[in-house]
Chains A and B, each alone.
Chain A
Amino acid sequence: MSDDNGVETVERASGTGVPVRGNDIDTDQIIPARFLKVVTFDGIGQFAFHDVRFDDDDNPKDHPFNEDRFRDASILVVNANFGCGSSREHAPQALKRWGIDAVVGESFAEIFAGNCLALGVPTVTASAEEIEALQDFVDENPDAEIDVDVADETVTYGDTKIDANVDDAQRKALVEGVWDTTALMKSNAEAVAETAASLPYIESEGDA
């Protein structure tokens, strides 16, 4: 369904990893509310995890996103319920613009996963043990390549291949390049108008 908007397919993402540990990391942590005061997403990447990365005087704290060895990472490895809380799309936007191409974790908050998909960023899940093992591996091998295969639902690193999970709709959207829903849905404009007209609460043309 690639059209002139140039929708890409996202069959895989590979690169080095960065582990961010902890359950229930909410979108306020990923991008604090005060950075929502932007009217475009440009430059938002530098504020990813800002308040857990810097103290009040802007001195860097211990955080993987501050470590040189993870600076070029593109695969984020997280634990459970990542991205819970506010629906702000600034969160995946910040991660993506920081350099993240895929997130692998135990589980994701739904709105967050949906927002990631809208940017073409897969959210891939695996068991708690597999995730921890992957985080340990990344910690010890920051230069090692991690391969997230969305189509096959696997994550490969070192000699290990994890049987991962990608939500069916997400997988289809990424692999077939139909994650740009705007273009896709716009092509159904006529059917939309028909549905609208069939709804009792929509006033028919003329009496509005």
Chain B
Amino acid sequence: MSRGTLYDKVWDRHTVTRLPTGQDQLFVGLHLVHEVTSPQAFGMLRERDMEVAYPERTHATVDHIVPTGDRSRPFEGAAEEMMSHLEENVREAGIDFSHPDTGDQGIVHVIGPEQGLTQPGMTIVCGDSHTSTHGAFGALAFGIGTSQIRDVLATGTIAMEKQKVRRIRVTGELGEAVEAKDVILEIIRRLGTDGGVGYVYEYAGEAIESLDMEGRMSICNMSIEGGARAGYINPDETTYEWLEDTDAFADDPERFAELKSYWESITSDDDAEYDDEVVIDGSELEPVVTWGTTPGQGIGISEEIPHPEDLPEDKQDTARHAQEHMRVEPGDTMKGYPIDVAFLGSCTNARMPDLRNAARVVAGREVHDDVRAMVVPGSQRVKAAAEAEGLDEIFREAGFDWRDAGCSMCLGMNEDQLEGDEASASSSNRNFVGRQGSKEGRTVLMNPKMVAAAAIEGEVTDVRDLPETEVSAQ
């Protein structure tokens, strides 16, 4: 059993009691709600005549199905139904809502940190598996299902079993064009998509500590792709600097100072005990791309696609199917793999540094004739900040579609979808068959710069082969 880790400390502080199920009842510090997984839970609450127990610890947004093009009301089809359900539910319960009209709307895992709702030493839940993102701040953040959403709404708590803690230390300095995304794709590739089952991941080491908050979020975001329900990074000065400027503390330095001592108290002790430890040399990595249909099927951009028979036996069939679906040949590299769509967006990679990095690659170039390319900023605030820096111009001039904030083609629930067997270069987190809206669609996951390079070249490209242009505001 782990001891003295952030996970242990935050868990203990939030434990209400041990339930007869053997699970712990944990108080939930922040419950984030979005339009797709919440209506059923509010419905169940109503069926039982219960009220929202802690509306002030709850915050709502719309992201999954909200249109990212034309936003005039009523929205088309199911989006309107879900939107109006949410509007009604939050009004009735008195829950804060980052409504599109406020300019604060965005992907739930972008707006929480952005507004300072996400803080170290909190327990955070949301009906979305990428809630692990918030672990970047040293919070314990878990994705939950609809019945658990009902639990949290009704009681302000959740029933959970404690997990083991694996520390993943990424040492060294990351090389050129190697980003947080590449680190996490590499971790998942090495440990497997189910390697984290039963574990929470603590990410540590120089390569992690030197990341900005956005990079840390990209890493924690994909913990779930590695099978870990949560992932976190101990808060440090980088974390505190971010928090200081958020809505939560900008006008309240006293409160900030007060909470900072709490945050410092919950970091993992130097002599903390872990259930497992993995070390990865970050300086060896190169940009990673996926060749298959699970996020664990990744390779370095100059590496060869594996022969299924060289893989562990339980991975061979999945690899064969994936290669058939993706139409790739073992022994080839992914370089030169033709793409039809470039998607720069999602809660993994649609924050300011992601857009800046991609803009540097795009500036002065044009999107390939055969590619439709889009940028979907993670939130309305990210969008506004990018426009203030002129990034939208750079993307537009190059031929990118500059869209409104939302999940968009990450999961293909709104109008942004792959068609037929289109192949996409995507900065999102899942390449499952059908994920981006078309059953025959093909998704290649990569970092935002690599997406930009693929958009320009019309094929998967090593971005290190494209010289960068300075972006003015940088």
Contact = CB atoms under 8 A, between A and B. Distances in A.
B85 interface: yes
A160 to B, nearest CB: 24
Contacts of B56: 208
22 contacts: A1-B20, A24-B318, A28-B430, A33-B413, A34-B412, A37-B81, A37-B413, A39-B82, A51-B434, A87-B145, A169-B21, A178-B19, A182-B155, A185-B155, A185-B157, A188-B157, A189-B53, A192-B25, A192-B157, A195-B27, A201-B122, A202-B57
Given A39-B43, A86-B129, A115-B145, A109 B227 contact: yes
Contacts of B23: 169, 173, 181
Contact of A107 (B85, B121, B194): B194
B155 A196 contact: no
B36 interface: yes
Interface in A173-200: 173, 176, 178-179, 181-182, 184-186, 188-189, 191-192, 194-196, 198-200
A132 to B, nearest CB: 13
B180 to A, nearest CB: 21
Interface string B67-81: 000000000011101
A40 B43 contact: yes
Nearest to B120: A201
Interface of A: 1, 5, 22-24, 26, 28-29, 32-34, 36-41, 51, 56, 80-81, 84-90, 93, 107, 109-111, 114-115, 118-119, 168-169, 172-173, 176, 178-179, 181-182, 184-186, 188-189, 191-192, 194-196, 198-202, 208
A118 B127 CA distance: 14
B229 A111 contact: yes
B193 A28 contact: no
B193 A84 contact: yes
A117 to B, nearest CB: 9
B335 interface: no
Contacts of B85: 39
Nearest to A41: B40
Given A26-B432, A37-B78, A176 B20 contact: yes
Contact of B148 (A37, A118, A186): A118
B21 A40 contact: no
Which residue, A23, A56, A85, A208, has most C-beta atoms of chain B within 10 A?
A85
Given A24-B193, A186-B155, A33 B411 contact: yes
Contacts of A188: 16-17, 25, 155, 157
Interface in B41-64: 43, 48, 50, 53-54, 56-57, 64
B109 to A, nearest CB: 13
Interface string B282-318: 0000000000001000000000000000000010011
A5 B150 CA distance: 14
A200 B258 CA distance: 8
Interface string B1-31: 0000000000001111101111101010100
Contact of A89 (B147, B198, B413): B147
A194 to B, nearest CB: 8
A181 B54 CA distance: 17
B262 interface: yes
Given A118-B148, A172-B21, A28 B77 contact: no
A169 B22 contact: yes
B227 A84 contact: yes
B431 to A, nearest CB: 11
Given A111-B145, A115-B147, A199 B19 contact: no
Interface of B: 13-17, 19-23, 25, 27, 29, 36-37, 39-40, 43, 48, 50, 53-54, 56-57, 64-65, 77-79, 81-82, 85, 119, 121-122, 127-129, 143-148, 150-151, 154-157, 159, 161, 193-194, 197-198, 224, 227, 229, 258-259, 262, 294, 314, 317-318, 411-413, 430, 432-435, 437, 439
Contacts of A87: 37, 127-129, 143-145, 224
Contacts of B25: 185, 188, 192
Given A185-B157, A199-B29, A201-B262, A191 B17 contact: yes
B262 A198 contact: no
Contacts of A119: 147
Contacts of A176: 20-21
Contacts of B413: 33-34, 36-37
A185 B262 contact: no
A142 to B, nearest CB: 24
Contact of B146 (A84, A89, A208): A89
A151 B418 CA distance: 46
Nearest to A174: B21
Contacts of A189: 53, 155
Contact of B29 (A33, A36, A202): A202
A173 B65 CA distance: 35
The 5 closest A-B pairs by CB, nearest first: A118-B147, A37-B78, A115-B145, A89-B145, A89-B146
A190 to B, nearest CB: 10
Contacts of B64: 36
Contacts of B129: 85-87, 111
A41 to B, nearest CB: 6
B151 A185 contact: yes
A185 B194 contact: no
Contacts of A38: 78
Contacts of B156: 192, 196
A189 B298 CA distance: 47
A170 to B, nearest CB: 8
A176 B48 CA distance: 22
Nearest to A185: B155
